């Protein structure tokens, strides 16, 4: 089974940007795939950045109502809030990986949602930050994600039920 995929704000924004003739269809394909497979994850921080960029910046400026409907749609992904656990993990990430505070919060939210993959252009493509691998959605094929970033089945840490098995041949009693 493929694990959840964390999506950063720039991927959401490229999916709407008509000026990005190469990136727009790739971002849209990723989002469609994540919806279909129910694998999309994000954070409140990311949705906040997305909303601000949709309503206040440049050529991609959209009416606040339309932008808000987009954000409401992504709330169904149960975005991770910035709580104490995210905050503390972000500090660890900032120190360990020498990345910006804002990127540290994104990585922490991805890690705490058990995402194997973080789609963004803001960090180095291919970087491994703890349990999360950063990939650009514009260099990674959707098919590759399923094969390379699957969560391995971990063996159970609990012993089985019932009596323990005896060896096929019991050692001689002395």
For residue 135, give its domain range: 5-146
Question: pTM of this prediction?
Answer: 0.80
Q: Note whether residue 135 is domain-resident.
A: yes
- Is residue 42 included in any domain, yes or no? yes
> What distances in angstroms separate CA 123 from CA 43, 69, 71, 94, 133, one per listed residue?
17, 28, 23, 13, 10
| β-pair partners for 80 | 43
Please report whether residue 159 resides in a domain: no
Confidence grade of residue 155 (pLDDT, cut at 50, 70, 90): very low
Burial (CB count within 10 angstroms: exposed 0-12, middle 13-18, buried 19+), residue 2? middle
Q: Are 96 and 90 in contact (CB under 8 A)?
A: no
Quick one: what percent of the chain has pLDDT higher than 90?
67
pLDDT for the residue 159: 52
- Check pLDDT > 60 for residue 151: no
The number of domains in the chain is 1
**How sure is the predictor about 162, in pLDDT bands with cuts at 50, 70 and 90?**
low
In this structure, the strands spanning 132-135 and 128-129 are: antiparallel
- Return the CATH number at 136: 3.40.50.1010
**174 pLDDT tier (thresholds 50, 70, 90):** very low
């Amino acid at each position: 089974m493929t694990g959840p995929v964390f999506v950063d704000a720039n991927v959401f924004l490229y999916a709407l940007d008509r000026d990005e003739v190469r990136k727009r269809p790739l971002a849209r394909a990723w989002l469609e795939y994540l919806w279909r497979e129910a694998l999309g994850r994000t954070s409140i921080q990311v949705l906040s950045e997305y909303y601000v960029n949709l309503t206040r910046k440049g050529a991609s400026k959209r009416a606040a109502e339309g932008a808000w409907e987009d954000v409401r749609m992504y709330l169904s992904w149960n975005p991770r809030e910035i709580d104490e656990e995210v905050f503390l993990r972000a500090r660890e990430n900032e120190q360990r990986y020498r990345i910006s505070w804002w990127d540290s919060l994104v990585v922490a939210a991805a890690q705490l949602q058990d995402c194997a993959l973080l789609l963004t252009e803001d960090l180095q493509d291919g970087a491994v930050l703890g349990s999360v691998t950063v990939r650009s959605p514009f260099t990674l094929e959707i098919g590759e994600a399923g094969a390379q970033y699957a969560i391995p089945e971990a063996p159970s840490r609990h012993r089985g039920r019932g009596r323990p098995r005896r060896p096929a041949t019991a050692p001689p009693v002395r």
